[in-house]
Amino acid sequence: MRNAFAKDLVDLARIDKSIFLITGDLGFSVLEPFATEFPDRFLNIGIAEQNMTGVAAGLAKEGYTVFTYSIGNFPTLRCMEQIRYDVCYHNLNVKIIAVGAGYAYGPLGVSHHTTEDLGMLRTIPNLTVASPSDPFEVSAITKMFVETNGPCYMRLNKTGESKLHGSVPDLSGNEPLKLCAGTEKLVLGTGAIVQEAIKVAKEKGWELWSFPIVSPMGKKWITDDLLRFKEIISIEEHQLNSGFGSAVLEVINDVYFSRKLTKYPNIRRVGIPNIFLGFSGSQEYLRNKAQLSLLL
Amino acid sequence: MKSVEFAQMIRIKCLELSHRKKTSHLGGSFSIADVLAVLYSYVLKYDSQHTQLEIRDRLFYSKGHACMALYAALEGVGFYSDLEEKFTLDGEYFTSHINHNVPGVELSTGSLGHALSVAVGVSLASKKKNQVWRTFTIVSDGELDEGSNWEAILLAPHLKLDNMVLIVDYNKIQSFGMTNEVLNLEPLNSKFVAFNWNVFEVDGHDHFKLKNCFDNILLNGKPTVIIAHTVKGKGVSFMEHKLEWHYKSPSTEQFDQALKELKS
């Protein structure tokens, strides 16, 4: 995913001269092509994420489309107030990119587990929150970020993800994208965990939709057609509190309350049960420990 | 100097606002009034009729709690004329921490330690675009406790942002004590020297000396800091050097006494 992002950003920056990239001293073997081709629009600002976000706000105030880049919690939780106040309140054109979503950096420890970002960031007004499941979604989101005037956030897994879509999908309306058709159960997923969910869904004959945009979430997908499934399961590599599944419940509830859904569907949420996993482990191992499985 | 009269006008307006609207932060508004008066009288390029003028200098007011002084200064130079009517009124943008929806205000602040990083980004943009306009950032002394400021203070000289001026309103009193007792900033001058800044240290109430500092800013690849030694509550005898005027608003008797002193 991060390579798709880095390549797309170079392509976009060739056309759009306002694109500026700031890294908090990360991006070795990823960001060099951008840095080499656009040295005047690249800045390694050092290991100082509060400053990175404030400087990005300043550059954006003067017309730049500024991407900030770092690992997981550093360009996000570390500088939440700069994101909330400097970037989002002033509605500035800053795009925050975090690598290492969920347990992508599993063995590195809790400092590098990005498991609260969606919940914390999706509460902030003006901010678009994106969580792609494959490199094609990354490309669609990166392009959308450049075309959208305003603050955006994207969590990237790492590398080596399969392509789940046949081509770069259309993200209009922030609606979910159907990855496989099926019956009985409908799986709603976001992020790289969808790569695992699709295997189970295909095996079981269940339907699966991916949500590249978590916030603001589209609502057109919520119709009585959902009632043909006995169960809806949300899955995310994120704490259950306030995450993707919570967002799904919120919008379904809102639509149900407005009488556009005649019956409340059965919904089960799969996510990290609000715990830290302090031991070492691969992404797969930690996902299992957190019981991130569609199967009961 | 005409700016001296302007500074007193700013203080009187702050006094009236604080008294009538029962708002805080009069002490820090009085300490920075002279700096603002000098900036808007002699230093800043601005056009009160064209707030987004590309070639304007950008003022970042990081000590957003002392908003009354900046609101009053902006009204004084013609950005608007309805401050008293709208200040802290329900539904109006004149919040009691400075608000960017008010004409002439570049950035909303109120949470300390934010504006300097934004100013670095704006100064960098000016350099990248080969512009001559500059940024001026005003921080409080207590605000320098915030680590984010020091990230920006480290970066600005690294980027050779000599189009950037920082003014420290060094009134020696922060929210709950003296700065040298809460968290000592000294030696502040040599800290900035060590961080590769040009440093001026000046009486922040002496308009001639302040103007002299602004007139002599070097374009030598380094940003400039003006450490303005000020007095919290400056101009009113019973408010000077008093922590309580970070919070209190004057009673009618105090208002009358203060007004008399400011007009004398």
Tens digits of residue pLDDT in A35-83: 999 999 999 999 999 999 999 999 999 999 999 999 999 999 999 999 9
pLDDT at B108 over 80: yes
Q: How confident is the model at residue A296 (pLDDT cuts 50, 70, 90)?
A: confident
What is the Cα–Cα distance from A90 to B94, expressed in whole angstroms?
Answer: 16
Please state the domain count of chain A: 2
Same domain, yes or no: A276 and A138: no
- CATH code, domain with A243: 3.40.50.920
The answer to whether residue B1 scores a pLDDT higher than 90 is no
Mean pLDDT, residues B176-183? 97
CATH code at A108?
Answer: 3.40.50.970
Q: Closest approach of chain B CAs to the CA of A64, in angstroms?
A: 8
Helix or strand or coil: residue B166? strand
Same-domain check for residues A22 and A143: yes
Domain assignment present for residue A167? The answer is no
CATH of residue B71's domain is 3.40.50.970
Based on the fold, state whether residues A14 and A117 are members of the same structural domain.
yes
Give the mean pLDDT of chain B: 98
User: Average pLDDT, stretch B235-264?
Assistant: 97
For residue A127, how many other CB atoms are within 10 A of its CB? 21
Contact A57 B119 (CB under 8 A): no
Phi, psi of B89 (to 5 degrees): -75, 140
Nearest-5° Cα angle at B44, B40 to B47 = 85
Separation CA B60–CA B44 (nearest Å) = 12
| A8 and A148 belong to one structural domain | yes
Contact state of A61 with B118 under an 8 Å Cβ cutoff: yes
Asked whether the beta carbons of B165 and B136 are under 8 A apart, the reply is: yes
Residue A144 and residue A82 share a domain:
yes
CA distance B79 to B45: 14
Nearest Cα neighbor of B232 from B217, B224, B223, B244 is B244
Q: Are B117 and A81 inside 8 Å of each other by CB?
A: no
**A9 and A139 in one domain?**
yes
What is the Cα–Cα distance from B149 to B155, expressed in whole angstroms?
A: 10
Sign of torsion over alpha carbons B239, B243, B244, B248: positive
Closest CA to A180 of A213, A160, A203, A162: A203
Q: Using CA coordinates, name the residue in chain B closest to A80.
A: B114
Dihedral of alpha carbons B17, B23, B27, B29, sign: negative
Q: Give the CA distances from residue B225 to residues B55, B103, B139, in Å, rounded to whole numbers and listed in that order.
A: 22, 26, 11
Q: Which long-range contacts (CB under 8 A, 24 or more apart) does A10-18 make?
A: A10/A34, A10/A37, A10/A38, A12/A142, A12/A143, A12/A146, A13/A37, A13/A38, A13/A41, A16/A65, A16/A146, A17/A41, A18/A63, A18/A64, A18/A65
Work out the percent of chain B whose per-residue pLDDT is above 70.
100
Q: Identify the burial level of A191 via C-beta atoms within 10 angstroms of its C-beta, where 0-12 means exposed, 13-18 middle and 19 or more buried.
A: buried
Question: What's the pLDDT score for residue A234?
Answer: 98
Band the pLDDT of B96: cuts 50, 70, 90. Answer: very high
Predicted TM-score (pTM) of this structure: 0.98
Question: A253: which residues sit within 8 A by CB, 6+ positions away?
Answer: none
Residue A52: name the closest of A90, A17, A78 by CA: A78
Q: Report residue B60's pLDDT band, with 50, 70 and 90 as the boundaries.
A: very high
Indicate the pLDDT class of residue A24, thresholds 50, 70 and 90: very high
Classified as helix, coil or strand, A137 is helix
Q: Are residues A118 and A46 in the same domain?
A: yes
| Whether residue A39 is found in the same domain as residue A64 | yes
Best to test chain A binding among B99, B123, B126, B151 (most A CBs inside 10 Å): B151
Token duo for residue A273: 């049960």
Cα three-residue angle A153-A154-A156, rounded to 5 degrees: 155
Q: Is the domain of A180 the same as that of A150?
A: no
Instruction: Give the model's confidence band at A29: pLDDT under 50 very low, under 70 low, under 90 confident, else very high.
Output: very high
Instruction: Say how many domains are in chain B.
Output: 1
B138 three-class SS: strand
Instruction: List chain A residues with CB under 8 Å of B111.
Output: 81, 85
Neighbouring-strand partners of residue B60: B137
Claim to verify: residue A117 and residue A257 sit in the same structural domain: no
Encode A28-82 in three state secondary structure.
CCCCHHHHHHCHHHEEECCCCHHHHHHHHHHHHHCCCEEEEEEECCCCCHHHHHH
Distance CA A252, CA A273 (A): 21
3-state secondary structure of B226: strand
Statement to judge: residues A150 and A8 lie in one domain: yes
Domain holding B256, by residue range, is: 2-263
Task: Reply yes or no on whether the pLDDT at B195 is more than 90.
Answer: yes
Measured CA to CA, the distance from residue A180 to residue A210 in angstroms comes to: 10
Average pLDDT over residues A92-99: 98
Question: Is B29 a residue whose pLDDT tops 80?
Answer: yes
Separation CA B115–CA B60 (nearest Å)? 6
A94 touching B (Cβ < 8 Å):
no
Residue bearing tokens 């993800």: A161
- Dig out the tokens for A232 from the structure: 């809806």
Q: Phi first, then psi: give them for residue A22, nearest 5 degrees.
A: -115, 130
From A265's Cα to the closest Cα of chain B, the distance in A is 41
Cross-chain residue pair A58–B119, CB shorter than 8 Å: yes
Provide mean pLDDT across the span B98-103.
98
Q: Is A203 exposed, middle or buried (0-12, 13-18, 19+ CB in 10 A)?
A: exposed
A176: domain range? 172-289
Hey, is B83 helix, strand or coil?
helix
Residue B44 has pLDDT above 90, yes or no: yes
Residue A189 in any domain: the answer is yes
Q: How many beta carbons lie within 10 A of that of residue A199, not counting itself?
A: 12
Interface contact flag, B120 A51, Cβ < 8 Å: yes
Are A190 and A245 contained in the same domain? Answer: yes
Q: Which residues of A touch B151 (CB under 8 A)?
A: 46, 48, 50-51
Dist CA B44 CA B55 (whole Å): 11
User: Per the CB < 8 Å rule, is B148 touching A85?
Assistant: no
User: Which residue, among A242, A284, A273, has the nearest Cα to A122 in the 3D structure?
Assistant: A242
Length, in residues, of chain A = 296
Length of chain B: 264
Q: Which residues of chain A lie closer than 8 angstroms to B120, CB-CB?
A: 51, 54-55, 58
Of residues B250, B213, B217, B219, the one with CA closest to residue B235: B250
